[in-house]
């Protein structure tokens, strides 16, 4: 277990914001976490549980305890001829799990290749990309209750998953800490190739559709558009794609016939925020040391030494422009702390 005072969070947030936590506690097991939650005086301070820090924007020093899981392990707990269930520690790097799955020829996680972050956060955030969301794979989420350290398992349905949402970000925010996530993957080939240019990219390479090739193509597409947080500070998509009423979409489509869209059933129509931000002229533009990424307008970047205020200011200007031009309010996907 690590227990550090006045800790710099620079290495724990991919935006590269230099803020401090009064205390930083990293636990290696469920028992250590339970002990901290039930016995430690740190309990009286505000707690914040973080994963890889790839979806956070610290706007000030954190006057409490930042908790980080180092619970490791990937273990097959159930299997049939058709599927396998793997219980994974919350502190495993998400993409290590994807790589492990692909190397074992288990299907389902490959479209989520190289999403930054850790397994615990995958279940909180319902990470998604290229037509797959992690909720499609999750069987159950094991947690400890912050108030009394007791264990509680959540079935997939109990997690109340929706686009980039779960009960852990909503009603139960801050009340449970994820310790393990169990995913079910298929042993039989199932591919999701219909999102964007995935099928075309595979065909262009003239390569066979298999797990390794699909993972490689997804990694290539992501690397071409999304900046590597180790080089340029960012938190992936800064905004969520708004889901708007069908009637409003039809009005927009009259003016912009080429507007990309993803029908969401009765819920409305999802419109890419990146497309609207680009049409507002923001792609590649900077305000101080914060900027809109030049290859993907949904991503805000730290050009070096940006403060959270600069990033927040840029995000507010972007929101304002999109509202003025399209009449649509876009909301951050990134959590402001
Ligand atoms: N687009 C533009 N200009 C831009 C960006 C996008 O015109 O600058 C257009 C694209 O041409 C395309 C559409 O918008 O027609 C969608 O773009 P893209 O496929 O790049 O995906 P996105 O909607 O911008 C979402 C996720 C990403 C995920 C990709 C691929 C959200 C908030 N973001 O982005 O997730 O990788 O789809 O599935 O849903 C993340 O959440 O951090 C993230 C990177």
Strand, helix or coil for residue 14: coil
DSSP codes of every residue in 276-300: HHHHTT-TT-EETTEEE-SS-TTEE
CA of 248 to the centre of ligand 1 (A): 21
Query: What is the pLDDT, as a whole number, of residue 264?
Result: 86
Nearest CA to ligand 1 atom 20: 296
Contacts 24+ apart (CB under 8 A), 158-165: 159/123, 159/135, 161/126, 161/133, 161/135, 162/126, 163/126, 163/128, 163/133, 163/240, 163/241, 163/243, 163/270, 164/125, 164/126, 164/127, 164/128, 164/240, 164/333, 165/126
Closest atom, ligand 1, to C-alpha of 235: 42
Query: What is the pLDDT, as a whole number, of residue 42?
Result: 67
237 labelled catalytic: yes
Task: Say what the pTM is.
Answer: 0.95
Could you tell me if the CB of 272 is within 6 A of ligand 1?
yes
Could you tell me if the CB of 298 is within 6 A of ligand 1?
yes
Could you tell me if the CB of 236 is within 6 A of ligand 1?
yes
Mean pLDDT by 10 residues, the chain (337 residues): 95 94 96 93 83 94 96 98 98 98 98 97 97 97 96 98 96 97 97 89 87 95 94 96 95 96 88 98 97 97 94 97 98 94
Query: What is the pLDDT, as a whole number, of residue 64?
Result: 94
Could you tell me if the CB of 55 is within 6 A of ligand 1?
no
CA distance 229 to 301: 9
Could you tell me if the CB of 130 is within 6 A of ligand 1?
yes
- Alpha-carbon separation of residue 254 from 174, 217, 270, 280, 281 (angstroms): 43, 35, 16, 18, 20
Query: What is the pLDDT, as a whole number, of residue 43?
Result: 64
29 labelled catalytic: no
8 labelled catalytic: no
């Amino acid at each position: 277990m690590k227990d550090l005072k006045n800790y710099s969070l620079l290495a724990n947030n991919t935006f590269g914001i230099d803020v401090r936590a009064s205390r930083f506690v990293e636990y290696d097991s469920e028992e250590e976490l339970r002990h901290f939650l039930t016995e430690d005086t740190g309990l009286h301070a505000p707690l914040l549980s973080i994963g890889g820090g790839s979806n956070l924007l610290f706007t000030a020093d954190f006057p409490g305890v930042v908790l980080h899981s180092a619970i490791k392990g990937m273990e097959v707990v159930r299997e049939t001829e058709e599927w396998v269930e793997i219980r994974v520690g919350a502190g495993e790097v998400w993409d290590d799990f994807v790589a492990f799955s692909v190397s074992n020829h288990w299907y389902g996680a490959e479209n989520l290749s190289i999403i930054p972050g850790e397994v615990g956060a995958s279940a909180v955030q319902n990470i998604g990309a290229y037509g797959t969301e992690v909720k499609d794979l999750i069987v159950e989420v094991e947690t400890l209750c912050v108030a009394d350290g007791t264990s509680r398992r959540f079935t997939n349905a109990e997690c109340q998953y929706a686009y980039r949402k779960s009960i852990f970000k909503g009603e139960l925010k801050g009340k449970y800490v994820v310790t393990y996530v169990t995913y079910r993957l298929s042993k039989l080939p199932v591919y999701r190739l219909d999102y964007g240019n995935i099928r075309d990219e595979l065909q262009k390479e003239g390569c066979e559709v298999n797990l390794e090739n699909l993972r490689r193509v997804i990694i290539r597409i992501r690397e071409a558009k999304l900046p590597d947080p180790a080089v340029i500070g960012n938190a992936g998509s800064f905004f969520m794609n708004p889901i708007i009423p069908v009637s409003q979409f039809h009005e927009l489509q009259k003016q912009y016939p080429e507007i990309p869209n993803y029908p969401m059933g009765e819920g409305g129509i999802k419109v890419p925020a990146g497309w609207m931000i680009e049409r507002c002229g923001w792609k590649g533009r900077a305000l101080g040391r914060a900027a809109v990424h030049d290859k993907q307008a949904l991503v805000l970047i730290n050009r070096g030494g940006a403060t959270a205020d600069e990033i927040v200011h840029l995000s507010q200007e972007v929101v304002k422009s999109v509202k003025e031009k399209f009449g649509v309010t876009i909301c951050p996907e990134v959590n402001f702390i």
